[in-house]
Amino acid sequence: MIKKNICFIWTVSNGDHQTDDQPNKKHLYEFARLVKLDFIFGTWDNNDFKIVKSGNYIIDNRYRVDFFGDLPQIVQELDKSENKITYDKFIVEFNKILDTTNVIVVHDANHHMKTIISESIRANVPLRYDTKLLIDTISFKHNLDKPTIYDLAKNLKIKNEKEIELLKNIFIKLYKS
């Protein structure tokens, strides 16, 4: 692979999408809301990945969303976080990362990308991802049938880490194989 800028993305949402359709303004209520986005941005060169920037965005949406799951834990994490950001500012900041990205890597692109795209529609800020190569590790260079990220990591003998680290290590191992 020629020198490429790669962005690994993992989202946490308030549930599953209630439709298989693509996000659109008319049916935004059917799409899960973004709660947190973890990312690792770096450079792939000479079969080696170097991290340039990593972090997360915790979306300050507790007044706009009915959470599923443990609301107090999410609110505590939000209150402690220095990375909390509103939807519209998040999309603008995330676009800055995407502007320098050649490749986006996710696990289960259908869920994660729909979550991010629906938030960009809610914020009325276009998401600039359409010229990027999208790699979905759910079906990338293995013969497992729609594995979870944990099943894929176990199959590849990658130790249990945070999801974003698992994603990065899974992609690197699959790409090099």
Say what the pLDDT of residue 67 is: 44
Residues of the chain with pLDDT under 70: 1, 60-84
4 - beta bridge partners?
A: 44
Q: Which pTM does this prediction carry? A: 0.84
Say what the pLDDT of residue 3 is: 87
Long-range contacts of 13-17 (CB under 8 A, 24+ apart): 13/111, 13/115, 14/65, 14/66, 14/67, 14/68, 14/69, 15/68, 16/111, 17/111, 17/114, 17/115
Helix 109-123 / helix 87-99 crossing angle, nearest 10 deg: 120
Say what the pLDDT of residue 75 is: 55
Shortest CA distance to 36 belongs to which of 98, 80, 96? 80
In the chain, pLDDT over 90 holds for what percent of residues? 32
Domains of the chain: 4-176 (3.30.420.10)
Say what the pLDDT of residue 90 is: 79
